[in-house]
Amino acid sequence: MDSQKLLQLWSTTGLANFEWGQLLMIAVGLLLLYLAIARRFEPLLLLPIGFGAILSNIPIAGIADDNGLLGYLYQIGIETGIFPLLIFMGVGALTDFGALIAMPMTLILGAAAQFGIFFTLIGALLLNFIPGFEFTLADAAAIGIIGGADGPTAIFLASRLAPDLLGAIAVAAYSYMALVPIIQPPIMRLLTTEAERKVKMSQLRHVSRLEKIIFPLTVLLLCTIFLPTSAPLIGMLTFGNLLRESGVVDRLSKAAQNEIINIVTIFLGLAVGSKLQAEKFLTLETLGILLLGMTAFAVGTAAGLLMGKVMHRLSKGKINPLIGAAGVSAVPMAARVVNKVGLESDHHNFLLMHAMGPNVAGVIGSAVAAGILLAIVGG
């Protein structure tokens, strides 16, 4: 037997090539799988991302390399921005903006909650005082967008402003979105009084089909006039929504809601996983990003709640401030959390529908914020 051949085979085993970082990242991948499967934390994204993390850290195989499967997916779908934009189209096709149209004032709540984005941006810059951190303004903006609580927006912006941080930002965004039921309730209880939480809101008015058709066009035209840099995101969101509401292209609407979003979700998750390669992910920056991401969600929630309290006053008690927390987006998790916390105070107070208004407003809000960051930082 030729011992040279044996040596060659040995040299291609994982055993002979492992680095500690890769082992650690495979463990991280397994942890994400555990969270996705056993704890059901955003499984649609965290399962593919977790699996992608494992695949990317297999030595020799080069699956995340430029000519490996995950590398190709990254180049095709994320470098180009195609995947997050197609997901956004699907989100548009899946979203009923009726609650928002019935109660447009809730857009203010969706605006307020974006404060989490800019607060975190400042936080990232503050970290630069600690030796080892050297976040640029673009890095900080990409990190801040975690506070938008919207996966595709975060991936789209990070791929433009700070591709090296994309893995950590995507993982933080989806993980904290999954943690919304844990992060939000204490803040909600802290910032609102029992009386406020008991406020029942009046039933939403009927929204006609024509209003629902005009809505996405209105949003797109405003975006065209005021903030074209957010047009790719807002454009695909409103396109998906128009497919849905127009009622004349059911075939296409269903394709956007099912085939396209499902296929792209698999590929997007795997491609994001390709950015969890040990040498890129195991850095001090990642630690900072995970920390800041948590803050982002907490601050966004608080900002939404405080604006909710203002509106509670201004409306003479007609608005339950809890629905402000849904303004961070994280659709529909945050709206459900609002509903649950509301029910704790009054077993007959169903806030789900009222929370859907700020909830979907938050999606638009963070896409707008992303547009501003692109306009000023990405220039």
Partner 1 sequence: MTVTELLLEGVQLMILGMGTVFLFLGTLIAVITLISRLLHRFDSPPIPTAAETEDPLLPAVVAAAVAQYRRDHPHPTTRR
Contact between 2 and partner 1 by CB under 8 A: the answer reads yes
Among 116, 288, 362, 371, binds Na ion (CB under 5 A): 362
CA distance 306 to 70: 43
Among 73, 359, 363, 374, binds partner 1 (CB under 8 A): 359
List C-alpha distances in Å: 187 to 146, 288, 302. 18, 22, 7
Contact between 296 and partner 1 by CB under 8 A: the answer reads no
Q: Which is nearer to Na ion, 77 or 304 (CB)?
A: 304
Contact between 329 and Na ion by CB under 5 A: the answer reads yes
Least separation in angstroms between residue 242's CB and a second copy is 7
Q: Please, what is the Cα angle at 211 between 206 and 215, to 5 degrees?
A: 125
* SS3 category, 18: coil
Contact 55, 270 (CB under 8 A): yes
Q: Which is nearer to a second copy, 47 or 296 (CB)?
A: 47
Residues shown for the chain: 379
Among 108, 131, 115, 6, smallest CA distance to 312 is for: 108
- With CB cut-offs between 5 and 8 Å by kind, which of Na ion, partner 1, a second copy, none does residue 163 bind? none
Q: Which is nearer to partner 1, 141 or 171 (CB)?
A: 141
- Looking up tokens 């604006």 gives 307
Contact between 148 and Na ion by CB under 5 A: the answer reads yes
> Residue 61 class from Cβ within 10 Å (0-12 exposed, 13-18 middle, 19+ buried)?
middle
- With CB cut-offs between 5 and 8 Å by kind, which of partner 1, Na ion, a second copy, none does residue 228 bind? a second copy
- Name residues contacting partner 1, limited to 141-160 (CB under 8 A): 141
- With CB cut-offs between 5 and 8 Å by kind, which of a second copy, Na ion, partner 1, none does residue 362 bind? Na ion
- Looking up tokens 């850095």 gives 283
Q: Which is nearer to Na ion, 73 or 337 (CB)?
A: 337
List C-alpha distances in Å: 177 to 24, 101, 231, 290, 334. 24, 25, 24, 13, 9
Binding interface with Na ion (CB under 5 A): 148-150, 329, 362, 366
